Structures are given as C-alpha cells and as structure tokens.
Amino acid sequence: MNLAKRPPMADHSFSRTRFGKHLIKINNNVSKTKTPYALCLRHRLMPYAFFIALYLFLTFHCFSQGISINTTGNEADNSAALDISSTTQGVLIPRMTTTQRDLITSPAAGLIIFNITTNCFEAYVNGAWNTVSCPAACTPPTQPSIITGLNSVCQSQSNVSYSVTNVSGVTYTWTYSGTGFNYPLGYPSNSITANFITATSGTLTVTPSNTCGNGTPQTLTITINAAPTSAAAGTDINPAGGVSIATLAGNTPTVGTGLWSVVSGTATITTPNSPTSGVTGLEVPGVATLRWTISNSTCTASTDDVVITTTAFTCDNIYAVSHTIGTVSPETKTVNYGTVTTSLSGASKCWITQNLGSNNQASSATDASEASAGWYWQFNRKQGYKHDGSTRTPSTTWITSINETSDWLPVNDPCKIELGNGWRIPTQTEWTAADGSPQNWSTYTDTYNSVLKLHAAGYLTSGDGSLSLRGNYGFYWSSSQYDATYGWLMRSYSAYCGVYHDEIKAIGNSIRCIKDNPTPAFSCGNALPITHTLGIGVAPVTKTVNYGTVTTSLSGASKCWITQNLGADQQATSAATDLTDASAGWYWQFNRKQGYKVGSTPTWTISISEASDWLPINDPCTSELGSGWRIPSFTEWTNVVAGWPNYTDIYNSVLKIHGAGTLRINGVLEYRGYWGYYWGSTQNSASNSWLITFDGGPSHMVSYEKAFGASLRCLKD
C-alpha cells in the first residue's frame, strides 16, 4: 500500500482491528498529529476480501479534507470525504434480496443498497426503505422483417428498391457482400434504391439498431444475371412459289435461351426453342413475321424479326412439299414434285409428274424402284403406305374389306392434305378424258411418254397389303366410286390401258394429284364461280355455282352482295312465283354451318338454345365463298329493308330477294313463293334470332326461333 506523504495532520491510525471478524475500523482524528504514512480509512461492516483487494491494487492517499483512492496520486476533491477514481472499474455497493435487507438491524439514515429482488437502488430515509432508481431493461431491436425486393437481377440494372418494415426508434444499416453494387451505404433507413452496374452476386444485409445496441440482421441472397446474347433472326426468307414451309436461321445464344414466336401472319413453328426450327402452315401467298427472342431471367430480352414472304405457286415449276409421318404420310421427308399444265383431263389443269410420296419421277414405264413408286392408298382412306419390297410401313392391321357408299371425301384426300388447298385426286371423268382422244393411250408406254410420266408402280393386295406387280402394272385411283365395294381407277399394262371399275376398294393403289388452275382475281359486279363440295359439313351437295354480285350501299355502306341465295343455281325469276329449288338455294338453322337442301337433308336439330351470335367459324358465307364474305348483321338488314313496302319492291332491288320460304322446326318446307325469311348474324336471345321476313305486305325484322331453317344472302366489305 502506497501512502502519500503530507505535512503533519491529525492522527490516522487503526483504532480497532479484528481480522477474525473481518472488520477494520480506521479513525481520522483531526486533533492528533501522527506520521504522514498512517493509513486513514474508516470502514464499517466491509468484507475483508474487499479491503484486501483495495490494499493490493490501489494506492490510498489520506488527506485532512478526505480520502482519495486512485493510481495517479491525486488528492481527494475538497467536497468529497471519499474520492475514488478509475477508468476500468466501478464502485459496487452491497447487493442483497429484500429479505436480507429487512434483516439489517437499525439501518442508518442514508444507508444505500442494491435490491436484487427488485433490481432497484434503495436508500433508508425517514425510517423506511425508498427506491432511488429502478432502471428499465434496455433491449436491442428484433430482427427486421423479410427484405422485399428482387433476388434475381440483371447486371447494369438500376433503381431497384429493397425495404423492410419500418419500426419506430430503430435505424437500419445496409451492407452488401458483392462488388460493383451502388447504394447509399449505411443509410439509416428501412429502404434503399440500389444500382447493379457491374455487380457480382452477393448477400444484402440490413442490421437494426437502437440506443441499446444492434439487433439480429436480416439477409437476402441476390443473384446477378448476365445480359442475354443479342438476338439475330437471320435474313428474310422467300420460299419458292407455292411453298408453305421454311427453315429459320436464328443465332445460338451463349447467354440465355431463345424462343420463336409469330408476330403476324399465319405460321406454325415446329420447334420454338431451336434457332433453326422449321416453319409450316405458311399462307400462300402471304407474309409472316416471326420473332427470335433471347432472354435470361429478369434481364431485358433481346429480339430480332425475320419476314417470310410466300408467293403463289405457278404450275410447271418445282413444288416443294414437306411430308411428316402421321395419319397420312408413312414417313417424314421433303419432296420436290415436278408439275405440268395440261388439258389431258378435258380442261387446263396442273398435275404433278410423279406419284404422290415418290422421291423422283420414274425413269421408265417399268421402273420398279421404291423411290419412283411412292406410296399406296386404299379407297377413301387418308393413310398412305410405303413398301420397300419386303416390309409395309406402317405395319398396322390391313383393312381387307371396304363397303361404303361414298366417293373419296375431301377430308380424306391425301392430295389436299399433303399438297395443300386446291390439290385433289382426279375424278373418273378426268381419267377417262386423259385416256381418250386425242391421246388414245393403249399401253403403259403411252402413259409414260405423256407429260404425266405415268408408270407401272404396282399395287398392294387386298388380303394383307403385300406388294404386287411393281414394274408390270400401273394402278391409279380416281376419286369416284363405282359402288359400295368398287372404285374407278386408271390401269395400264404392256398390252392395254384404260379406266376400270373392277378393283375393290381395299386394294392399295398409287395416286396422282391434280389442281384447278387459278381463276382471275374477283371483282365485284362480275360472276363469282364457287365449287361447293359435299362432305365438309356445309354444302348438302357437290356442284359449281356462278354467283352474280353487285356493289350497293343499301346496308348503310358500300358492300358487295351476291344477287342470289347461297346454294342457289340461279337468280330468282320473280318475287313470288319462282318455286324452284334452283332459285331457293339452301337453308340454315341459326349459327349452324350445315346447309340443307329440300328433299335431301342431314339430321335436323329440333331445338337450339345458346347465348351466341352467328360465330365466324360457323358462317357458311365465309366457308363457301371465301375470306371476307359473311352474313349481314341486324343493323345492315334493318337498313336494307327500310322503305320496302312488299316483296315486289324487294325483288325489284339490285339484290333480287324473293320468297324462298322456310323450313319449320321439323324440317318441313313451307311458304315458298309467298314468304321470304333471311337470317341476320345477330341473336335476340338464347332461343331466338333476328331475320328479315316479308310477304305481300311490308318487310320487317322479326325475332325467330333459331331452330327454323332460313335462307342466306352474303356480303363482303
């Protein structure tokens, strides 16, 4: 113990020392003068251990004005009896429970303790224990809410917001473990706006704090994505005339994934994720725009477009066709068909100069190769069969017998399905004309020497579909049946040639395809030739009609109208006295595309209840006359009939509308030659729709049951 020296002063001595009881009493008697090294301490009820600690580690300085305990030698403050100084320790007053406190005998006024029961500082004043201070517990803030904001961003992305729920009295410090990340570092807000300029992936951390310290941080792992490769869709594509397929040439992305999409036009993308995908179903002629998009997560995608322009096929050129294995083609391949314009069939037509499905034109009349033979079909069946001389493909169960009263339906015609609209199997009449004068074919040598290059491709037997007579006989189906069991075909051999009906429909024969040459572009006011075909759900018979047309503003705007009923062979000859089927045409139930001819009708719908106008997909005008033609609306018919007093005035108009009658809900014809009923495309309710009706009195619009059969007129914008 180091005792500071001072001039003589009062007696400082141990007046009572009893180590056995751990008590030390130090008196400071001012009236006595003792050695300056005297230890001046007054201690009452202080544990011995505390005294020893002070003795060992501290220097005591006793002065007349007070006692200082420190390591610097400084005097006690004049106002203090005891002045303790330390930068590493504090003063620990006695700590005890309430029970222990209450056991203190005769506590002196001003006695101070720390009550560990209540965690309060207490002093004995006025004969009772009083609370001096009860500090509240100080708690750091809780962990913030989940960080809201993107966890996947693109490099160079900016102004990305992140935030946590704000709590009053809490400040927030944001940090990021990655690089190249710009944000207000340490900004004490619950939200920040970050910029990912050249950033790398990392962890975003927000740490909450208050006056009591820091709370548990909240984190968000952020993935930085590279910008996608710049898209390049390739140069624009111009397929050969009539070709409806193409192959794309986009670039392969090094970053991100690519996807083709159709921007405009008609096209089917076979493999959308492939940069070199095929395209089918292109409208001919037409223009389709396709887009190659390369994207990578949240980054802005890169796009580029390619334009595919198709032109109409011109006969006498190569016609490229992509066959795909399925319900028609037995294999997948692309064939460049030769074509020729000829009037062998009785009229100018375009023919392919090799068999359907063949890789090439035959090299001779007796060419027995599979490549020249092409595929084989059973009558009115769309599935084609390939035969390599030993194996038939597909090897499905062979149909050994066909018994049905039907020509080859368009829906099953492989020419139409594989080569496109307009292509078809020749009729019996067309084959007969080709075989007749002036060609007068007599052997397969003659058929091969013709512009059609017909050769002896053989056939598949009806029993099991095995190959027979390839290189010896030629068998070519027509689309015409002879009866339920037999079909018409063109047959050639070394000794004869002709059109026969002695082959059963279950035989597999070759097919040649024919196409009507295109007609001049239609101009309203001229005849509109239309071939109606039975079997596709609209026309009740197969026939060709030359519709009269006229341009008029009767509907409220200039439109092109047909001047006879849809399905009529001719324009009516009078308003009320023309009772012929030829002038009446066909009848339709509302929003049904199937037309009905009196005396020969498919199954009749007894009632119709549906909340719908006449849908474009069911519009017979569109289906039969072509794109742009449609049924007049309620408004257009209302404008047309305004001011017409009776059916005479209606007939005398440029539209030549007459009383064609109606089919009742049971399908029975009535009122022909007296009443006229013409559907509009607008419904009135689920069971009724608007139509124009008239007799000898004024014409007007009425709501009629949808199950009735009424006539149709068509217009075009």
2-16, 163-177, 284-298, 531-545: which range is least confident on average? Answer: 2-16
In this structure, which amino acid lies at residue 380? N
Confidence of residue 519 (pLDDT cuts 50, 70, 90): low
Which residues are registered as beta bridge partners of 214? 209
**Non-local CB neighbours of 39 within 8 Å, separated by 6+ positions:** 1, 3, 12, 13, 14, 26, 60, 62
Instruction: Answer whether residue 253 shows pLDDT above 90.
Output: yes
* Tokens at 224, concatenated: 């930085």
Average pLDDT score, the chain: 87
Q: Where are the alpha helices (DSSP H) in 477-569?
A: none
* Residue 11: CB atoms within 10 Å: 17
Q: Mean pLDDT across the stretch 286-311?
A: 94
Share of the chain above pLDDT 90, in %: 67
Model pTM greater than 0.75?
A: no
Per CATH, the architecture of 152-225 is what? Sandwich (2.60)
Burial of 514 (0-12, 13-18, 19+ CB in 10 A): buried
For residue 56, give the 3-state DSSP assignment.
helix
Q: Mean pLDDT across the stretch 253-278?
A: 96
- The candidate with the shortest Cα–Cα distance to 93, out of 67, 111, 66, 68, is 111
What is the per-residue DSSP string for 427-489? PHHHHHHHHSTTT---SHHHHHHSTT-----BEE-TTT--EE-TTT-EEEEEEEESSSSEEEE
How many CA atoms within 13 Å lie on the side-chain side of 542? 10
- The candidate with the shortest Cα–Cα distance to 375, out of 243, 487, 516, 470, is 470
Q: Mean pLDDT across the stretch 258-281?
A: 95
The per-residue pLDDT for range 373-419, each reduced to its tens digit, is 999 999 999 999 999 999 999 999 999 999 999 999 999 999 999 99
29-33, 166-170, 398-402: which range is least confident on average? Answer: 29-33
Q: Mean pLDDT across the stretch 183-209?
A: 86
CA distance 106 to 97: 17
Q: Mean pLDDT across the stretch 474-497?
A: 97
pLDDT computed for residue 547 by the predictor: 96
CA distance 386 to 389: 9
Q: Mean pLDDT across the stretch 15-42?
A: 36
CA distance 19 to 525: 136
Per-residue CA distances from 705 to 587, 607, 708 (Å): 14, 8, 6
The per-residue pLDDT for range 565-580, each reduced to its tens digit, is 999 999 999 877 789 9
pLDDT computed for residue 183 by the predictor: 76
Q: Mean pLDDT across the stretch 181-209?
A: 86
pLDDT computed for residue 79 by the predictor: 87
| Cβ–Cβ under 8 Å, residues 275 and 251 | yes
CA distance 631 to 691: 11
| Cβ–Cβ under 8 Å, residues 677 and 665 | no
pLDDT computed for residue 157 by the predictor: 86
pLDDT computed for residue 58 by the predictor: 47
Confidence of residue 520 (pLDDT cuts 50, 70, 90): low
Phi and psi (nearest 5°) for 110?
95, 0
Scan for tokens 């060992």, then name that residue: 56
DSSP structure class, residue 618:
G
Let me know how many helices (H) and strands (E) the chain has, helices first: 10, 47
Q: Which carries the bigger pLDDT value, residue 242 or residue 444?
A: 444
CA distance 113 to 98: 10
DSSP structure class, residue 596:
B
pLDDT computed for residue 56 by the predictor: 46
* Tokens at 668, concatenated: 């029975």
Taking the domains of the chain in order of start, what are their residue ranges?
9-84, 95-133, 152-225, 246-310, 319-516, 528-716
The per-residue pLDDT for range 657-672, each reduced to its tens digit, is 999 999 988 888 999 9
pLDDT computed for residue 51 by the predictor: 47
Which residues are registered as beta bridge partners of 176? 204
Measure the N-to-C terminal CA separation of the chain; round to a whole number of Å: 118
* Tokens at 141, concatenated: 């803030």
| Cβ–Cβ under 8 Å, residues 559 and 716 | yes
pLDDT computed for residue 647 by the predictor: 76
* Residue 241: CB atoms within 10 Å: 17
| Cα angle value 437/438/442 (rounded, 5°) | 70
pLDDT computed for residue 158 by the predictor: 87
**Non-local CB neighbours of 179 within 8 Å, separated by 6+ positions:** 198, 199, 200, 202
pLDDT computed for residue 421 by the predictor: 82
* Tokens at 70, concatenated: 């420190």
CA distance 622 to 485: 36
The per-residue pLDDT for range 236-245, each reduced to its tens digit, is 999 888 788 8
Per-residue CA distances from 398 to 377, 466, 476, 479, 657 (Å): 11, 10, 19, 21, 53
For residue 621, give the 3-state DSSP assignment.
helix
Note the maximum CA span of the chain.
Answer: 164
The per-residue pLDDT for range 327-374, each reduced to its tens digit, is 999 999 999 999 999 989 988 899 999 999 999 999 999 999 999 999
Sheet bearing 191-196, strands edge to edge: 160-163, 191-196, 181-182
| Cα angle value 618/621/626 (rounded, 5°) | 105
The per-residue pLDDT for range 629-648, each reduced to its tens digit, is 999 999 999 999 886 777 78
- The candidate with the shortest Cα–Cα distance to 166, out of 150, 189, 138, 185, is 189
| Rg of the chain over all Cα atoms, to the nearest angstrom | 52
For residue 623, give the 3-state DSSP assignment.
helix
* Tokens at 245, concatenated: 């397929």
In this structure, which amino acid lies at residue 41? L
| Cβ–Cβ under 8 Å, residues 356 and 384 | yes
Sheet bearing 715-716, strands edge to edge: 549-552, 559-562, 715-716, 629-630
Residues in the chain: 717
CA distance 420 to 425: 12
The per-residue pLDDT for range 32-66, each reduced to its tens digit, is 333 333 333 344 444 444 544 444 444 445 555 68
| Cβ–Cβ under 8 Å, residues 646 and 695 | yes
| Cβ–Cβ under 8 Å, residues 356 and 333 | no
